[in-house]
Structure formats: structure tokens, C-alpha cells
Amino acid sequence: MAKQGQSTNQGLDRLTTAANEAAATKGLPPVHLWNPPFCGDLDMRIASDGSWYYMGTPIGRPALVRLFSTILKREDGKYFLVTPVEKVGIRVDDAPFMAVEMRKCSGASSPLLQFRTNVGDWVDCDAEHRLRFEPGEAGGLMPYLHVRADLWAKVTRPLYYELVDISEERMVDGRTMFGVESGGAFFAMADAEEVRAAR
């Protein structure tokens, strides 16, 4: 048993070292260019609140969580941590990131919403980094923001209420939709008639 734990820890140490080396380059590591052999699953999980766990224990170092987030990749609906030499699978309960802060900027031609994720990245909400709205488990809607390469951030409930406050009605494909504008794009939340009926 000790040998298995020791082997797992060595695997994590190796992954951390490789991630640190990849992070030495400017910007995010080019994980989309890496296709190393699959080395099995790692007992690592990202909970629905954005917390990272390793072998059931929370990873308490924000810098380490940030480091691992830079080598996160999604393929065929599954999540992996990838370095140039290995790829390991991890579990993600919902979305791998949380959008925890929002600021409203005045763009040249339209408003721009910027979101900060729980790992410190700022994302401009636009056609490439869009918002989508899914039915929430407890009713209502749950917004998600596209961060990069099929990786999404779940928008916190307080920010969702802010989005509702700044939303407006627009015609989309012949239907009046309730949604928000950002970065020159309009993101529909729900049918306006249904929203009015629910109030």
C-alpha cells in the first residue's frame, strides 16, 4: 500500500515539475499541440465549486491549483492534465473553473463584460468566449462562460443576478429573447414571454 502511495506521489511530483517547466514559457502552455501517451487516471478531482482535491484532500495551495489549471485539456468530454511527455485523466464534477468576479467596461461600440476566474484569469466575454445558460438543478438558469478550448467556467449565483439586472429584450430569430450584450455579441438567456410570466 505504501508503495502505491509513494508511486502516486512520485507521479504527482513528476507532473508538477513538468508543469513548472511548461509554465516557464510566456503565456499558457500549448497543450493543444501536445499528444503524449496516456498514463492512466490520477486521483484528482475538481468539485462543482471549483475546489481541487488530490486523493480526497483539498489542494490548499492556490499557486499549485493555478499551475495545474494551465495544463488542463478536454478531449471527447473527458479532462486531462497534459505535459509534453504524459497525459493523466482527472475528474471534473461540473465545470473546471468558476467565474467569481465581473466588471463592466465600455467598449468602442458596445459594452464589454470581463470575468475573473477562480485561478486568476480575466476573460473578455465575446463571440469567442461566449455565455451559455443551462437549466439549474434547483430551478432557474445556470450561466457558463467559455474560457478556452472547450473549458468552461460556471458563473457564481451573485454574478448571475448581476447579469439578470443588466439584461434586456431583443429579437432573435423571430423570438423575443431576454439576454445580455457583451463584446458585440448578444447572449440569450430565455424566452422573454416565459421570463415575464415567471415574475
Could you tell me which of 78, 109, 74, 82 has the C-alpha nearest to residue 91? 78
Same domain, 109 and 193: yes
Question: In terms of pTM, does the model score above 0.85?
Answer: yes
Same domain, 105 and 171: yes
Same domain, 101 and 194: yes
Q: What is the pLDDT of residues 142-160, one digit of tens each?
A: 999 999 999 999 999 999 9
The DSSP symbol for 59 reads: -
Q: How far apart are CA 90 and CA 81, in angstroms?
A: 7
Same domain, 104 and 193: yes
Q: What is the pLDDT of residues 78-96, one digit of tens each?
A: 999 999 989 999 999 999 9
Q: Is 147 exposed, middle or buried (0-12, 13-18, 19+ CB in 10 A)?
A: buried
Residue 196's pLDDT is: 63
- 71, three cell numbers: 495544463
Residue 8's pLDDT is: 53
Same domain, 72 and 9: yes
Number of domains within the chain: 2
Q: What is the pLDDT of residues 94-131, one digit of tens each?
A: 999 999 999 999 766 789 999 999 999 999 999 999 99
Q: What CATH code is carried by the domain that includes residue 18?
A: 3.10.540.10
Q: Which one of 92, 114, 135 terminates a domain? A: 92
Q: Which one of 59, 92, 125 terminates a domain? A: 92
Residue 49's pLDDT is: 96
Asked if 42 and 89 touch (Cβ cutoff 8 Å), the reply is yes
Residue 5's pLDDT is: 44
Q: What CATH code is carried by the domain that includes residue 145?
A: 2.30.270.10
Least confident residue range of 57-61, 81-85, 99-103, 189-193: 189-193
In 103-177, alpha helices (H): 157-166
Q: Which one of 92, 118, 151 terminates a domain? A: 92
Same domain, 41 and 131: no
- How long is the chain? 199
User: pLDDT tier at 197 (50, 70, 90 boundaries)?
Assistant: low
Same domain, 76 and 105: no
Helices 2-23 and 62-69 pack at an angle, to 10 degrees, of: 70
Same domain, 136 and 187: yes
Gyration radius (Cα) of the chain, Å = 19
The distance of Cα 71 from the centroid of its chain, to the nearest Å, equals 13
CB atoms within 10 A of CB 158: 10
Same domain, 25 and 68: yes
Residue 2's pLDDT is: 35
Same domain, 66 and 101: no
Residue 199's pLDDT is: 55
Q: Containing domain of residue 192, as a range? A: 97-198
Same domain, 86 and 103: no
Residue 134's pLDDT is: 92
Q: What is the pLDDT of residues 160-184, one digit of tens each?
A: 999 999 999 999 888 899 999 999 9
Same domain, 101 and 119: yes
- What is the amino acid identity at position 185? A
The DSSP symbol for 50 reads: S
Order the strands of the 185-191 sheet from edge to edge. Answer: 168-172, 175-182, 185-191
Of 60 and 196, the one with more pLDDT: 60
Q: What is the pLDDT of residues 2-56, one digit of tens each?
A: 334 444 566 678 888 878 887 766 678 999 899 999 999 999 999 999 999 999 9
Asked if 189 and 133 touch (Cβ cutoff 8 Å), the reply is yes
